[in-house]
Chain A
């Protein structure tokens, strides 16, 4: 019995001497051992060694923060120049973004009702997308900056343009001037932004974070605390007199946690616009809204009889929605409703508008939001079973003609530089509707479609 007890104690002792399994957490010895192991750079090896805890060497004294001679009052780069140093660069920075992908789409303009229709009536498209941005950023002084960005895409001859080219000048660190071609973002909404009356292109619903082209303008910005006041003089190559300039001004107020904006804009041959924006975060939610009153219409109006007429009526447009994110569940959702006062009801057909755009009588922008009532629901799981797998769903609906498009997709980041994604599209609506028309701008797929895309070598540099 005694022999058995001795063996038992020896076994227990041996077990206790076995190295602890690496759990990612410092072991007791590492935590409370005899001091840092000088043979390793691992900061986790012994953070609480007796060398540290045996004395107050764990506390470095910087002196009194109110003593101008102390280290705490401004020594090192953390001193008075810390904020201006970020605005200056000795070197001119060159950077950009490259995007490359191959995609294949299989689609059906009518729902396939049989296996034969499924196999024989479909179409397929293969596409190569190659584009790049190249920017130059020069900051010789804290009150002067030059920035330019050029975008090119395949085929290069027709897809190369200057996206931004401007200079920033600061007056006494309180008044900020920007002159040149610049991106301007007035709105706070995700997919439709009626308050953004300056941008030259609408939001790409399927890529809402994509930068939009802005005009050549002089922007004057005056921040007052967390409020901000902007004024714009807007021009383009057609401006020959002062009267041709566009004018816009905006005030943004912040009353924690509400952001409230008010703006006005006018340019010859464009309607006078009054806009307002509102945004408020609340816990995991962010609510937003925009309103716009247009006194007249920028383009002519198509009547139900098919004629084009000038229109100086007053129109209200508004949008509202919210963003919800749950970081633990890796889930996010965007919901937005958009009422477009200038939109058409069912007395005017989509195809007749499309015809006027083809003839050059109306701008293409009228096709991106044709009706009066629109909604968009976007759901995303940034991690699905695995951190490299994500899922998304997008439902676009035009309620004036009861048409829409639903797309759901899966994306897999195979490794840095290679991503694969697959998307299923389902379109609905009659043949003369915003999403159901064979010439629908917002539905390039048809009734049913499948796409596979490989993103190769995309990234920033």
Chain B
């Protein structure tokens, strides 16, 4: 009898502790992830912005790309067109749902494109430019409170719930007062730190937040790093004709 009680108490202890961990210090982890997704996913407006991607590798010239990005998150549509360097102007890719196309100006063909690939050999992933989908792709594995600079933060370790994301595990530092991500560490399946992402500045438009500067450090290759700067942000409506392959073909050289 005593043994059964002990087992029951043990089970209650194990399963009862889980929500306690999740809700420790009053932090609602689901709400944090939901807020991050809402900040970075623009459901009620189209989005246009110019991105500058500066990539550095030891012993190589600094690579600079400028790209214009169009997003319609409500329909899961995304278009990136390269503006600089001039040699690559007009190249880009269109993503709709889980399908992406890039247009090859040499063969004049549309190739299937992977959103989780890296952008132009930089440390940035193509998915870094799309909407945030933490709730769909990750579950919170652990949680703690901490401090980053002068900000109180929640530190969440997230485990991927599917294999469509670039990294199976990621750790995020989230401001406690507004749930903005300040720092992110991405890990491989073997729990090796792959890259560190720092986001020191944001732009706010109503309930939306856009990282205006992102610093990405390659933790595998010493000295490799990428800076992404965003400007000319607009939430004005974009015509439907922009989000089709004809437009991608027309802007191409």
A positions within 8 Å CB-CB of B: 22-26, 31-32, 43-44, 47-50, 52-54, 58-66, 70-80, 82-83, 86-87, 93, 95, 135, 137, 145, 168, 170, 173-174, 176, 183-185, 208-212, 221, 223, 225-226, 228, 254, 256-257, 259, 279, 281, 283-284, 286, 323, 325, 327, 460-461
Contact = CB atoms under 8 A, between A and B. Distances in A.
A185 to B, nearest CB: 5
Contacts of B227: 43-44
Contact of B238 (A66, A70, A83, A87): A83
- Going nearest first, the 5 A-B pairs with the smallest beta carbon separation are A53-B149, A65-B235, A78-B232, A78-B234, A72-B205
A256 B98 contact: yes
A102 B180 CA distance: 56
A209 B206 contact: no
Contacts, number: 207
Contacts of A87: 250-251
B20 interface: no
B70 A281 contact: no
The range of chain B's interface size is 35 or more
Nearest to A65: B235
A185 B204 contact: no
A62 B106 contact: no
Nearest to A258: B99
Given A24-B225, A48-B182, A82 B114 contact: no
Interface string B76-103: 0000010100010010000011111000
Given A31-B149, A60-B202, A72-B206, 12 more contacts: A49-B149, A53-B151, A54-B150, A58-B201, A60-B212, A61-B205, A73-B236, A76-B234, A83-B70, A86-B90, A184-B108, A208-B107
Contact of A174 (B198, B224, B241, B250): B241
Given A32-B148, A48-B182, A221 B246 contact: yes
A72 B49 CA distance: 10
A3 to B, nearest CB: 38
Given A44-B217, A62-B233, A63-B205, A283 B163 contact: yes
B107 A210 contact: yes
A83 B217 contact: no
B107 A286 contact: no
Contacts of A259: 99
B92 to A, nearest CB: 9
A54 B209 CA distance: 19
28 contacts: A24-B225, A25-B217, A44-B227, A47-B198, A52-B200, A60-B201, A61-B204, A62-B204, A64-B206, A65-B205, A75-B234, A79-B48, A82-B68, A82-B70, A82-B238, A83-B48, A83-B242, A83-B247, A93-B253, A95-B87, A208-B107, A210-B107, A225-B244, A226-B245, A256-B98, A325-B114, A327-B117, A461-B87
A285 B143 CA distance: 35
A209 B117 CA distance: 20
A63 B234 CA distance: 11
Contact of A176 (B44, B107, B215, B246): B246
A185 B239 CA distance: 26
A25 B194 CA distance: 12
Interface centre among B209, B239, B251, B253 (most CB of A within 10 A): B253
B206 to A, nearest CB: 5
Contacts of B118: 327
Nearest to B216: A44
Interface centre among B223, B245, B250, B251 (most CB of A within 10 A): B250
Contact of B202 (A59, A64, A80): A59
B29 to A, nearest CB: 23
Contacts of B209: 59
